[in-house]
Amino acid sequence: MKILVVDNVTIGMHSLMEALKGYPHDRISYRQITPAILNRYDKVILSGGHGFGVLHPNSKYKRELDAVKKSRKPILGVCLGFQLICRAYGAELGDIKRYEKGVLVVRKVGADPLLKGLPASFKVYENHRHIVKKVDGKLVELAVSKDGIEMVRHRTKPMWGTQFHPEKFVKRTIGRRVLYNFLELKP
């Protein structure tokens, strides 16, 4: 199995690379992504990012949005990657009143293989300023928090997203289980 990590200019890349030790993977910039590149890999992870938001239309992530829409490969979007998946499939995004940074409790609202082994409520690490308020019929909510939707999956494609960072603060949270559940899925 070969994994592609799409770097959306996240400050957490070191933690994500640490979590992927033992898994063959490559890393590219979001500026390089194409559907053809995605098709060379068994699984794709869209990292978080801090440089540019996806709330308002802009051309920064056009290539990534197009690749997400065309892909049939298993994809996990983290934070900004989650927001990109949600934006690609018509979800309603918004600002939050305060920047969310720290450990937060999320609650499962759906069943999914990525939630295997997790309790009904669990702690995760958040670091974002935008939220997903509502998804349309192509995405299904899997987990929520006081701020909004925390985890989704696509109804027909092998695609998931987490608003939280499963790669961060592993001694205080259990979000990494979601990442490993994704990596353990059969392609």
Active site residue ranges: 79, 165, 167
Ordered DSSP codes for 114-174: GGTT--SEEEEEEEEEEEEEE--TTEEEEEE-SSSEEEEEESSSSEEEESSBTTS-TTT--
Least Cα distance to 163 among 183, 138, 135 occurs for 135
Euclidean distance between CA atoms 171 and 80, whole angstroms: 23
Pair of tokens at residue 5 = 């990590």
Q: What gap in Å lies between CA 159 and CA 12, rounded to an integer?
A: 21
Shortest CA distance to 76 belongs to which of 160, 174, 133?
160
- Measured CA to CA, the distance from residue 136 to residue 162 in angstroms comes to 16
